[in-house]
Amino acid sequence: MNNAEKKNERVLVFGLDGAPYELISSWLESGYLPFLQKLKKEGAYGPLEVSVPTISLLEWPVFYTGKNPAKLGLFGLGQVKDPKENTPLTLANTQLIEGPTLWELLNKGGISVGVMNIPATYPPVPVQGFLIAGMLSPSSSQFYYPKNLKSYLREYRIGIEAEQFGELPDKLIDKSGLLEELYDIHTKRVKTILTLLEAFPVDFFIVNFKELDELQHLFWDSKKTLLDFYQTVDKSMEWIVAQFRPTHTFVISDHGFHHAEREYFFVNRWLEEKGFLERTPSGKLYALVHPILSQFFKGKVRELIPARFKTREKLTSLAGGMINFHRTKAYANVWGVYLSDIIKDNEEYTKYKKLLRKELESARNPHNGEKIFKKVYAREEIYAGKYLHKFPEFITLPNPNYLPNPVLSNKLFEPRVDKPYLEGAHKSATEAILFTSGEKIKKGCHLEGVNILDLAPTILHLYGLEPTPEMDGTIIRKMLIDKQVNLQKKSTT
């Protein structure tokens, strides 16, 4: 493909953050989303497999690098680290990303890019085109490139600020007000897109509507509220397509969604019961005192807990010093279970690994017989890379009813007490969406087995650029009309 042909190629990617395939499919059958319905009719579609755990700060770097988490050194919310390390978590950001991104490779191939609101793109890196960083970017900072973009972003909003959504006392959460905020964020985002695409003509554009993720967290039980917002987004995509005039359009999500978890499963307490974990003396003292204190404050605990501590994951640090790692064989965090260093160089390692997997796969709630985990993966079964040794031996995909909690409690289960205003979650939602159409895409092509890793190589291929050898994904050739798109001789590597 020569330079002129590459310039004629215009790829547009919409990210519908958290859009679940089953729900979207049911709405399409009812004719509720006409733009997406047209895209499905005129192109290829299907469920999109994503990485585990299903977290935006992990999935989007996997998408835009085409590399699995063990090559990136990312796990959960950020940089992979052993939970017993008493160090702060470094959230996923551009400074942690190793290797070229999709937009860097496109730039190298002579393609200008526009990137908006993709998670883990802060701090912004220079590109030929423009880049507006996504979630967790400080709105008071320069979260965009180039500098002269500032005048176009006076009304633009990245998303709901943390103090509005996650840090207020429960009784002060105004969900109707938050819904209005989400509509305002979306309206201003679309307005900014239309203005920027006119002022900065680019050959490739991608935007993520993160507001959909926040919407589903808040209103999962109200499908009418969800549909109304999705219909607004459906219309917005139609407007953007009309202005950008793409040769190929992709609509993707980074994970699905499900109802909020109903109970905590205290996984380290479970490991203790199974004989894999031992407490320190202070941990044993806590086990004796906690039931007495709990009974004394029964009915008042909710009011006494500061808002910032009501998220159980924030209580993880309070378990520090309670686990005797010199005598513990296995311990856990939210995302998986680790085997201890005391057996890693021991011939017992294989024995304990087999035993631990068997126990994890058979773990059930004794009160109702429900399995705790939908799937248990050995790390080497799903990932490969130089950081693999830092990952937990087993990566767990929980039953949607249960939220694994690493706090060393005296109970195995407990009803969720934090953030009762949240109705949706996605820790078990591995089925995302993929809809695409264009000049080189087969019509009515139903896709199966496509992974989020495959998207970056496929987009490069449409521009006549070769995926890099380090990419784990492959070109989705089964949906292409011309499987022999001529690649330029000069590779992106």
* CA–CA distance, 76 with 26 (Å, rounded to integer): 30
Q: Is the pLDDT of residue 52 over 90?
A: yes
The confidence score (pLDDT) of residue 291 equals 53
**Which CATH number is associated with domain 3-258+428-479?**
3.40.720.10
Residue 7: band (very low, low, confident or very high) from pLDDT cuts 50, 70, 90 = low
Q: Residue 286 pLDDT > 70, yes or no?
A: no
Encode 332-371: b = buried (16+ Cβ within 10 Å), e = exposed. Answer: bbbbbbbbbeebeeeeebeebbebbbebbeebebeeeeee
Using DSSP, state whether 222 is helix, strand or coil.
coil
If DSSP codes are grouped into helix, strand and coil, which group holds residue 362?
helix
Q: What is the pLDDT of residues 435-474, one digit of tens each?
A: 999 999 999 999 999 999 999 999 999 999 999 999 999 9
Q: What is the mean pLDDT of residues 262-275?
A: 97
Residue 455's H or E segment, with its range, is: helix 455-462
- Say what the pLDDT of residue 35 is: 99
Confidence band of 193 (pLDDT split at 50, 70, 90): very high
Lowest mean pLDDT among 33-47, 191-205, 304-318: 304-318
The candidate with the shortest Cα–Cα distance to 269, out of 412, 413, 366, 83, is: 412
Give the pLDDT score at 290. 55
Is the peptide bond prior to 123 cis by the omega test (within 30 degrees of 0)?
yes
Which regions of 234-364 does DSSP assign to beta strands (E)?
248-252, 258-259, 263-266, 330-332, 336-339
Separation of alpha carbons 302 and 395, rounded Å: 32
Residue 481 in tokens: 């009309």
**CA distances to 122, 263, 271 from 279, in Å:** 40, 24, 11
Q: What is the pLDDT of residue 185?
A: 98
Please name the helix (run of DSSP H) or strand (run of DSSP E) that holds residue 44, with its range, or none: strand 44-49
What pLDDT, on the 0 to 100 scale, is given for residue 25? 98
Over range 117-123, report the average pLDDT: 98
**Is the separation of the CB atoms in 78 and 60 below 8 Å?**
no
Of all residues in the chain, the percent with pLDDT exceeding 70 is 86
Q: Where are the domains of the chain?
A: 3-258+428-479, 263-415
Q: Higher-confidence residue: 133 or 170?
A: 133
pTM for the whole thing? 0.91
Q: What tokens appear for 4 in the block?
A: 């002129």
- With a cut of 90, say whether residue 3 has pLDDT above it: no
pLDDT at 321 (0 to 100): 76
Q: Which tokens go with 51?
A: 């990485």
- What residues are paired with 376 via a beta bridge? 396
What pLDDT score was predicted for residue 419?
A: 85
Model confidence at 308: pLDDT above 90:
no
What pLDDT was estimated at residue 173? 84
Q: DSSP label at 371?
A: B
CA–CA gap between residue 8 and residue 439 (Å, rounded): 12
Average pLDDT rounded to a whole number, residues 360-377? 98
**Alpha carbons within 13 A on the beta-carbon side of 402:** 25
Whether the predicted pLDDT of 351 surpasses 90? yes
134-138, 278-282, 399-403: which is most confident:
399-403
Reported as a single tens digit per residue, the pLDDT across 243-254 is 999 999 999 999
Mean pLDDT, to the nearest integer, of 225-249? 99
Average model confidence (pLDDT) for the chain?
90
- Out of 23-32, 308-317, 470-479, pick the least confident: 308-317
Label residue 489 by pLDDT band (50, 70, 90): very low
